[in-house]
Every structure is written in structure tokens, then in C-alpha cells.
Amino acid sequence: MHFIYTFGNLQISYTFIYGVIHMTNLRNDIANIIGINVADFTAPITYNLLDSSQENGYTRQLIEYDSYGDKVTAFLLLPDILNSNPAILINHQHNREHHLGKSEVCGLAGNPLQAFGPELAKRGFVVLAPDSICFEQRRKDPSVEGFDFWQHFNEVCYRIIRGESLMQKVLADAMNSITLLSNLSFVDKNRIGTLGHSYGGNTVLFLSALDERISFSCTSGSACTYENRMRNDVGIEMASVIPGFHGKYDIYDLVSCIAPRRLLIVSAEDDKYSKDASYVIEKASPTYLKLGALHNLEHKRYPGGHGLTKERFDFMIEWIARTH
């Protein structure tokens, strides 16, 4: 059945109302399982400036700020012209390289095809690129190169036995980062987005599902259901080990929670970490449709494997540039 409710000159369909209620309840349930309350992350966040460097078209600042007792180090990229700029939080990949984090997505180390930060800063975006917990300057033993399994493993175990999860910490840090961006006087608070590949892309999905301050999102190499991973013996990144989550939900539920906001999912045919991205889109599309926003859910599928290519990198940059 389809009903139309009229309030003055405003007409709202029953389908739309049902979609909003369903999405809100779903978001609240997922937040409760993870142990996150978005309202806890709205207090202003101040940061300390540690270093600054003038680059071509932007300034790169090294900053530090507090996130529930932890010091988060990040690069803040500021375009030469600051006036109601769009902003974006970039979540770095994992790739078994714990010595890399913010530096890779800012083009200072690692794979150049992860260097989203400079490209977006040159296009007028204020960019925040923090180290995720266990990476780069947030390692307990900076002398360990590459894969520091034990710190990451312990971060998971210690939280689980306290009734928490690593995802709870990752999202708390990310939401504080969104708060920091939204506090900047030269940032347009209605144009704050987030981007990430692989581990970073997974963070994008969880973060965007729960934090409605994010207006657009781009995720690459991460749209794969828990069900598909377990059926095909594909590893699950430690932050995604959330007790009780898969008993009720899967990745497509996160995508549904992002509706009606703009989302780009990038996947590849031979990428086991985005293997069933088309199925994720199929399952989430009805929610977008009910909200009249199916055009805001986009999926770009490529041949090849997990690693980014120049073609994918360029497409993501162009999508963000025209979407904000």
C-alpha cells in the first residue's frame, strides 16, 4: 500500500516515512552493538600544531589531538584558499604495513596510488589524515617495520575481554576526527566526507553508517559481506571482529544506514575483499529507493584484484570532486 500524508503544502509518502524509521532503528541497533553513541563526539576538539610545510597548492600541517586519552597524530592539508571549503577524512589502508599510515595517503611514503590527500587538497578540500591505532606514530614499538601483528592482536583481545571491541575505538577516533573538521571555521559543515581503501574503506562503511554529519563517502576494496568471507575462508580484519554483529547484521545493513546520503563503492572482480559488492548494493538499494535517493548509491566495478590502479584512483578523485 502507498499512502500520501499532506502537511500544508508538503506531501510525504508512507514509503518515505517507513524508510526513515527503519533506517534510524537499524542505525541505533548497530551503534548499540558496537557501543557507540554519536552524541558523545560533538564537544569541540583542539589540536596542537607540531610542524608545517608549504606544498604546491596547499599547506601540510602535522597536528596532534586527544581521543579519549590517546594522542592521535595526523596530517591536516589546507588549500591555499580557505573559505567554506569542503572537507574529507581519509582513512588509510592496512596492507600489513603498520609503519605506514597518514604518510601514505599524503604522498610521503608507500604506494603513490594511495596518495589521495594532495590531489584533493589541490582541488580545494580540507583534508584530515590521521594514523589509525597501531599504525605509524601510534605504534608502541616504532622500530618494527611492516606487519606488527602482536600489538594489533593485543588491542583486539584486551578490548574484547572488557566487553568492548577494536571497532569501537577505531570509530571513536574517526568520529573525533569528524568533530575536529566540523569545528574549523573555514570548513562547510554540510560538505564533510570520508574516503578509504581496504581497511580504510571498511572504516568508511561503519563510520558513515553511524555518523550522519558525513554527507558523502567513497569506499574501495571493502564491500564484502561477513557471510561471503566466512564461506570462502577470507580473513576478517581485526577491527571488524565485533561480538554479536553478524548474528543480526551484515555489510549491506551499513550501506542501508548511509541512505539517503551519497556513497560510491568501488570493487574489483578478482578482489576477495570486495567479492560480493554487487550483492551488497542489491540488498541496500530498497532503502535508498524508499528515500527517493537511489541515484546517490553508486557502484563502480573493475577487472583486476585488490590493489588500486591509476584508473580507479582517478575515478575516485573525480567522483569526490564533482559530488561534494
Residue bearing cell 560480493: 276
The number of helices, as runs of H, and strands, as runs of E, in the chain is: 10, 11
Kindly give, in sequence order, each residue whose CB lies less than 8 Å from that of residue 8, ignoring residues fewer than 6 positions away: none
Residue 301's H or E segment, with its range, is strand 297-302
Q: What are the extents of the domains in the chain?
A: 24-323
Residue percentage of the chain with pLDDT more than 90: 84
In this prediction, residue 15 has a pLDDT band, given cuts at 50, 70 and 90, of: low
What CATH number was assigned to the domain covering residues 24-323? 3.40.50.1820
Q: Which range is least confidently modeled, 3-12, 133-142, 291-300?
A: 3-12
Q: Are strands 70-79 and 85-91 parallel, antiparallel or unpaired?
A: unpaired
Instruction: Compute how many other C-beta atoms are within 10 angstroms of the C-beta atom of residue 8.
Output: 5
* Cα–Cα distance for residue pair 243/248, rounded to 1 Å: 11
In this prediction, residue 38 has a pLDDT band, given cuts at 50, 70 and 90, of: confident
pTM check: above 0.75: yes
CB 264 within 8 A of CB 300: yes
* Cα–Cα distance for residue pair 200/21, rounded to 1 Å: 29
Residues written for the chain: 324
Residue bearing the bigger pLDDT, 189 or 68: 189
